[in-house]
Amino acid sequence: MAKIEVDPERCKGCLLCAEFCPKKIIKASDTLNSKGYYPAMQIEPEKCIGCAICAKMCPDVAISVFK
């Protein structure tokens, strides 16, 4: 099991991370950040394999992966 953390203030809600996550466990949160975007969040962290594809895809370097 691994865990990701999204920095909600860096995230612009493009959801590229969600699109490329092989486990499909990232979705938009329902809380706006200060720039008016819905930042990504991880759901079902028990399914995360720590591949870090999400972090690599993020154009804003908003994701950290912890294994």
By CB under 6 A, name the binding residues for ligand SF4: 2, 4, 6, 11-17, 21-23, 25-26, 39-40, 42, 48-54, 57-58, 60, 62-63, 65
**How near is the Cβ of 36 to ligand SF4 at its closest, in Å?**
13
Query: Using CA atoms, how far apart are residues 29 and 8, in angstroms rounded to an integer?
Result: 9
**How near is the Cβ of 50 to ligand SF4 at its closest, in Å?**
5
Between 21 and 36, whose beta carbon lies closer to ligand SF4? 21
- Among candidate residues 14, 38, 42, 12, the one with its CA nearest the CA of residue 27: 42
Element containing residue 27 per DSSP (H, E): strand 26-28
